[in-house]
Amino acid sequence: MAQEKKTEAALLKEKLLVKKQSGIRKLNREEIEKADKFCKGYVEFLDSSKTEREAVTYTIKAAENAGFTEYDRTKSYKPGDRVYVNNRNKALMLCVIGKQGTKNGVKLGIAHIDSPRLDLKPNPLYESSDLALFKTHYYGGIKKYQWTAVPLALHGVVALKDGTVRDVYIGDDESDPCFVVTDLLPHLANEQMTQTMVKAFNGEHLNVLIGSRPFNEDEESESVKLNIMNILFEKYGITEADFISADLTMVPAAKARDVGFDRSMIGAYGHDDKVCAYPAVMAAIDVKDPEQTVISVLTDREEIGSDGNTGMKSSYLADFIADLAEADGVKLRHVMEKSTCLSADVNAAFDPTYASAYEANNACYINGGAVITKYTGSGGKYSTSDASAEFMAKVRRILDDADVLWQTGELGKVDGGGGGTIAKFIANLNADVVDLGVPVLSMHAPFEIVSKTDVYETYRALLEFYSINN
Ligand code: MN
Ligand code: MN
């Protein structure tokens, strides 16, 4: 048999240059099937978790089914024990106690479960021209025009003065009514169409249409509003004043769908960052007897800067690790300096239609696998932690040894904009951290796109990171 002889250049290339990413071509049929199967579970999670509260409720159930119990700091735990901590029904930590406990650091995988949306204002309900509407205040970075003329659902809770909390969930079932932000018809939009996007769609335009029939034929004013309040009272037992103590939000009413003739992708609301939260949950559930204690964190408030008691600037994670450390007879600061973290968040997948926003050599690609983002930030690496060379080397080794499909990615071209993740807040706790997650097309749109194999490879990356000793 004639063996093809490689040229000197070919041999040197093999030794010295990065092989052009072949992405999904590296995966065999069996692996792709595993990814498709894994994503069935993901879609179920996604459709049940449009808000952070729903994600927490769903995950607690899944975790309890997998043997996790609520953490009790007065109890002692042994290696292999599985516990969860629920922070105000809006953030959650799943923890598997390691054989070495916390003394050699903990392994963290942190994703966020809040997504951009339209929150109701504290006084949302009004009537104008015989239509009833809700005033909203958008949450997170959105292109406002994308939220007009699409069906919306109302999710959240209303807390009453007597302490009871009413769940609100309306608009997702096909038999439910839905809601909508209206837009101006093109025929009359001459002025709007010549404005910049920021001016044409401002925050006070994002009013949601919720009704149009008056209560009865009495000549009372605001009887359309009255009729809506009457419906809400009958359904939820709430009055107008109760909106003041509510977390109510408008989210896209659509369910997740396969995208493409080949069904290779998933389109849905809220991939950012449920697409990393689900792999983090499953990695915590699936990890077997880890050496170091493992904690998957589903955090809140990321889309608005991580402030607040359920966000990553809060001390809730460090406080929990401190409790674990105390039980092990070690100090929190000595645990943190040895701890490592994958900040599981998404990156912007290269979009050929908007190629000029990216720098092709450093962008991440759909089907390229889990994306490692060394730094985020903007304006000359401002406001980012930037993972060290040494930690990057460690993560590369872990992923390569396990044959995880991965790529690197920068968030767009230099000075094209920017963004951040929770990585820097973990770095500020004196741990090593890097972003690793799923590439997303149309990020922050009501319908975002991810690849099924990228979701699965992100899960594999997290599981491998948790499983390996340091
Ligand atoms: Mn994110
Ligand atoms: Mn985001």
pLDDT higher than 90, residue 42:
yes
pLDDT reported for residue 470 = 72
In this prediction, residue 238 carries a pLDDT of 97
CATH top-level class of 117-252: mainly beta
Q: What is the pLDDT of residue 290?
A: 98
Q: How far is the CA of 404 from the centre of ligand 2 (A)?
A: 24
pLDDT in tens, 136-177: 999 999 999 999 999 999 999 999 999 999 999 999 999 999
Arithmetic mean of pLDDT, 425-436: 98
Band (pLDDT 50/70/90 cuts) for residue 19 is confident
Using the mean position of ligand 2's atoms as its centre, give its distance from the Cα of residue 347 in Å.
Answer: 9
- pLDDT confidence of residue 25: 83
| pLDDT score of 131 more than 80 | yes
Q: Residue 401 above 90 pLDDT?
A: yes
CA of 135 to the centre of ligand 2 (A): 23
Tens of pLDDT along 182-237? 999 999 999 999 999 999 999 999 999 999 999 998 888 999 999 999 999 999 99
Task: Give the Å distance between the CA of 442 and the centre of ligand 1.
Answer: 13
Give domain 22-115+269-467's CATH architecture.
3-Layer(aba) Sandwich (3.40)
Return mean pLDDT, the chain.
96
272 Cα: distance to centroid of ligand 2 (angstroms): 5
Q: How far apart are CA 296 and CA 469, in angstroms?
A: 17
What pLDDT, on the 0 to 100 scale, is given for residue 164? Answer: 96
**What ligand has the least distance to the C-alpha of 346?**
1
Ligand nearest to the CA of 421: 1
Give the distance (Å) from ligand 2 centre to CA of residue 17. Answer: 33
Q: Which residues pair with 250 in a beta bridge?
A: 118, 154
Give the C-alpha distances (Å, rounded to integers) separating 192 from 146, 156, 189, 199, 379: 15, 33, 5, 8, 31
Q: Please say whether the beta carbons of 365 and 407 come within 8 A.
A: yes
Q: What share of the chain has pLDDT > 70, as a percent?
A: 99
Name the token pair of 424. Answer: 């820097």
Give the distance (Å) from ligand 1 centre to CA of residue 67.
29
Q: Give me ligand 2 centre to Cα 237, in Å.
A: 34
Residue 21's pLDDT is: 59
What does the pLDDT look like over 352-395, one tens digit per residue?
Answer: 999 999 999 999 999 999 999 999 999 999 999 999 999 999 99
pLDDT mean over 96-100: 98
Task: List, in order, residues 6 or more apart from 144 with CB less than 8 Å away.
Answer: 138, 197, 201, 202, 203, 205, 206
**26 has pLDDT over 90:** no
| 422 Cα–ligand 2 center, Å | 11
Question: 129 and 122 in contact (C-beta within 8 Å)?
Answer: no
Q: Which ligand has the nearest atom to the CA of 303?
A: 2
Tens digit of pLDDT for each residue in 323-349?
999 999 999 999 999 999 999 999 999
**Domain extent listing, the chain:** 22-115+269-467, 117-252
One-character DSSP codes across 436-455: EE-EEBSTTSSSEEEEHHHH
Instruction: Say which range, 13-27, 42-56, 60-74, 236-250, has the weakest mean pLDDT.
Output: 13-27
Q: What is the mean pLDDT of residues 224-253?
A: 97
Predicted local distance difference test score (pLDDT) of residue 1: 54
The whole-number pLDDT of residue 20 equals 67
